[in-house]
Amino acid sequence: MMQDFLIPFIAISIAELGDKTQIASGLFATQYNPWLVLLGVLSAMTLLSIRALLVGKFIFTKINKNRHNNCGPAFHNDRHI
C-alpha cells in the first residue's frame, strides 16, 4: 500500500522539478500572501489531478482487456481503484 503512494509521489516530484507552475507560484508569492498562494496552488493541482484520474479511469474501462496486455506494465494491473 505504501508503494502505491511512494512510486507516483517520487515520479511526479522528479518530473515536476522546476516546472512553470513552481516559477509562477514563486512570482505570485512575491506579490501576494504566500500562504494563500500555496492554498490556491494546492487546490488547483488537486482538482486537476482528480480530473486526470477520473478521465484516465474512464478511458481505461473503455479499452479492450486484450489491449491492456499489449500496453505494458503501466496498464496491466489486476488491482482496481
DSSP letters for 3-36: HHHHHHHHHHHHHTTT-HHHHHHHHHHHHS-HHH
C-alpha span between 26 and 61 (Å, rounded):
39
Residue 20 in any domain: the answer is: no
0.85 exceeded by the pTM? no
Residue 6 in any domain: the answer is: no
Q: Could you list the residue range(s) of the whole structural domain that residue 50 is in?
A: 34-81
C-alpha span between 66 and 36 (Å, rounded):
47
Q: What is the pLDDT of residues 12-64, one digit of tens each?
A: 888 888 788 889 999 999 999 999 999 999 999 999 999 999 998 898 888 77
Helix (H) or strand (E) segment spanning residue 71? none
Residue 38 in any domain: the answer is: yes
Specify the number of domains making up the chain: 1
Residue 7 in any domain: the answer is: no
Do residues 56 and 48 make contact, with C-beta atoms less than 8 angstroms apart?
no
Residue 63 in any domain: the answer is: yes
Residue 1 in any domain: the answer is: no
